[in-house]
């Protein structure tokens, strides 16, 4: 069975944990968009792994992992991640393959990402991860990107880098008053990276096609989340790739007819990192309480995540856009001990009732959630492993989410460890 796993909110839903679970019965795990802006956490018997570029399936022994053409690859970050995993006893070589068509992140991308964020006003700031993601995707679309496969032809690579860097140094000098970057320095570094990365490159689209024909099970690991999608998210407070289901197709070079199921991951509440409107955001006391209990600090940048109530208006849009067949609800344990829980079931906008998530962030920032309030449960549920042992009020909360989203919940997560999971 071939499955796509999608974050149904603003990222950090707990995709890493679900990928690890679903990888057990998959043969190949594929990242298809985003880059090392992602941070996917997997906890195994008190060992914590945070994956940024390498699919989280790497932690399941013997699985093949692919970085598809839609991913933007920072080669330095990739080598670092491979070496860190190998040093911790995770075999990566021989199991990880990288698309020749994936675009590479260069130092000018991350530098421009940072300088731009620092030079604009607070209201314009996206709050990016400063990993160079946006500038790299912009270059891809402007047709001035350089791809992993270009490293194979040193003369061509050198010529291309020279052309691109001339323009980037102009931008750095004229717009940002920066001295610019050294051509020789970048060339030397990328020649060094080439020696480590070229042996991993293959035609990943062809590989996936053939794996499929042989009956292998493929799992597509989405990064970020539906509302960070460049087309369907809260633009411009989004990332620069398609985090919704279509990204898996273009970003890995496979056909939609190969896909059997789409799995959505939601947190039992909502979080977002960075700027942008967030209708159900908690008031500050509750925010601090949940941030602390849920350890809501970014896996990539360490920034505190903004937290809020579950937003069914938003999640319903994710169900529709991605055609979710089933859902995993994460971090239910974090809600234990609250007297009551709220779920946004609609928005009020200029006196009107909205049932659908608006496209404009201008409108969204004026929306007030209409809440349904439900009683909370007080029990610690981190040791629960079966649906029937969940407190009645927790079951009711989950059943309400299921009804609002018209999608079956198949996994309920009550802790970060692999075994703190209820299969429904």
Task: Assess 7 for contact with ligand IMO (CB under 6 A).
Answer: yes
- Residue closer to ligand GDP by CB (options 22, 148) is 22
- Residue closer to ligand GDP by CB (options 14, 68) is 14
Token digits of residue 116: 């731009």
For ligand IMO, which residue of 23, 30, 39, 369 counts as binding (CB under 6 A)? 39
What number of chain residues touch ligand GDP (CB under 6 A)? Answer: 23
Per annotation, catalytic residue among 20, 40, 103, 109:
40
Please compute, for residue 110, the number of CA atoms within 13 A of its CA located in the half-sphere on the CB side: 16
Token digits of residue 247: 């990204």
Q: What is the DSSP string of 248-267?
A: HHHTTT--GGG--EEEEEEE
- Cβ atoms of 32 and 247 closer than 8 Å: yes
Q: What is the DSSP string of 300-355?
A: TT-PBPEEE-EEHHHHHHHHHHHT-SEEEEE-GGGGTT-SEEEEEEEEEETTEEE-
Among ligand GDP, ligand IMO, Mg ion, none, residue 228 binds (CB under 5-8 Å by kind): ligand IMO
Return the range that interacts with ligand IMO (CB under 6 A); candidates 33-41, 167-175, 319-327, 342-350.
Answer: 33-41
Cα 279 to Cα 275: distance, rounded to the nearest angstrom: 13
Q: What is the DSSP string of 267-303?
A: ESSEEE-SSS--TTBPPHHHHHHHHHHTT-B-TTT-P
Is 40 noted as a catalytic residue in this protein? yes
- Residue closer to ligand IMO by CB (options 69, 271) is 271
Task: Assess 14 for contact with ligand GDP (CB under 6 A).
Answer: yes
For Mg ion, which residue of 39, 55, 68, 274 counts as binding (CB under 5 A)? 39
SS3 247: helix
Task: Assess 342 for contact with ligand GDP (CB under 6 A).
Answer: no
Name the residue with the smallest CB distance to ligand IMO.
Answer: 274
For the segment 113-172, give every residue that binds ligand IMO (CB under 6 A). Answer: 126-129, 131, 133-134
- Cβ atoms of 75 and 147 closer than 8 Å: no
Per annotation, catalytic residue among 12, 74, 150, 333:
12
Binding site for ligand IMO (CB under 6 A): 7, 11-12, 37-40, 126-129, 131, 133-134, 223-225, 228, 239-240, 273-274, 299
Binding site for ligand GDP (CB under 6 A): 7, 11-17, 39-41, 43, 294-295, 299, 330-331, 333-334, 413-416
**Hey, which residues are catalytic here?**
12, 40
């Amino acid at each position: 069975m071939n499955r796509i796993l999608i974050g149904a909110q603003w990222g950090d839903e707990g995709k890493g944990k679900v990928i690890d679970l679903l990888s057990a019965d998959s043969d190949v795990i594929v990242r298809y968009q985003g880059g090392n802006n992602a941070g996917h956490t997997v906890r195994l018997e008190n060992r914590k792994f945070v994956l940024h570029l390498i699919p989280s399936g790497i932690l399941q022994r013997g699985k093949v992992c692919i970085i598809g053409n839609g991913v933007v690859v920072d080669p330095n970050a990739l080598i670092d991640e491979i070496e860190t995993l190998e040093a911790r006893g995770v075999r990566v070589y021989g199991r990880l393959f990288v698309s020749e068509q994936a675009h590479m992140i260069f130092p000018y991308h991350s530098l421009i990402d940072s300088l731009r964020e620092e030079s604009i006003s607070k209201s314009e700031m996206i709050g990016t991860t400063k990993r160079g993601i946006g500038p790299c995707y912009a270059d891809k679309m402007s047709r001035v990107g350089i791809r992993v496969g270009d490293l194979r032809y040193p003369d061509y690579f050198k010529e291309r880098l020279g052309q691109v860097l001339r323009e980037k140094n102009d931008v750095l000098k004229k717009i940002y008053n920066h001295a610019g970057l050294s051509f020789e320095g970048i060339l030397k570094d990328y020649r060094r990276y080439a020696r480590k990365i070229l042996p991993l490159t293959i035609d990943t689209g062809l590989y996936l096609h053939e794996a499929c024909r042989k009956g292998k099970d493929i799992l597509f690991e989405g990064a970020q989340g539906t509302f960070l999608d460049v087309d369907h998210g809260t633009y411009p407070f989004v990332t620069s790739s398609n985090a919704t289901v279509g990204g898996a197709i273009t970003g890995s070079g496979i056909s939609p007819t190969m896909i059997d199921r789409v799995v959505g991951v939601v947190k039992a509440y909502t979080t977002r990192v960075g700027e942008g409107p967030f209708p159900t955001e908690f008031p500050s006391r509750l925010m601090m309480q949940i941030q602390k209990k849920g350890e809501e600090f970014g896996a990539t940048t360490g920034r505190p995540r903004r937290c809020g109530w579950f937003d069914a208006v938003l999640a319903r849009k994710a169900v529709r856009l991605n055609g979710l067949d089933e859902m995993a609800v994460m971090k239910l344990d974090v809600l234990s001990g609250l007297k009551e829980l709220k779920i946004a079931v609609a928005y009020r906008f200029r006196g009107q009732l909205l049932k659908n998530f608006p496209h404009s962030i201008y409108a969204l920032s004026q929306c007030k959630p209409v809440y349904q309030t439900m009683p909370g449960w007080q029990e610690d549920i981190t040791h629960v492993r079966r649906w029937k042992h969940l407190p009645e009020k927790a079951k009711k909360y989950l059943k309400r989410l299921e009804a609002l989203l018209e999608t079956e919940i198949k996994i309920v997560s009550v802790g970060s460890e692999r075994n703190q999971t209820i299969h429904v």
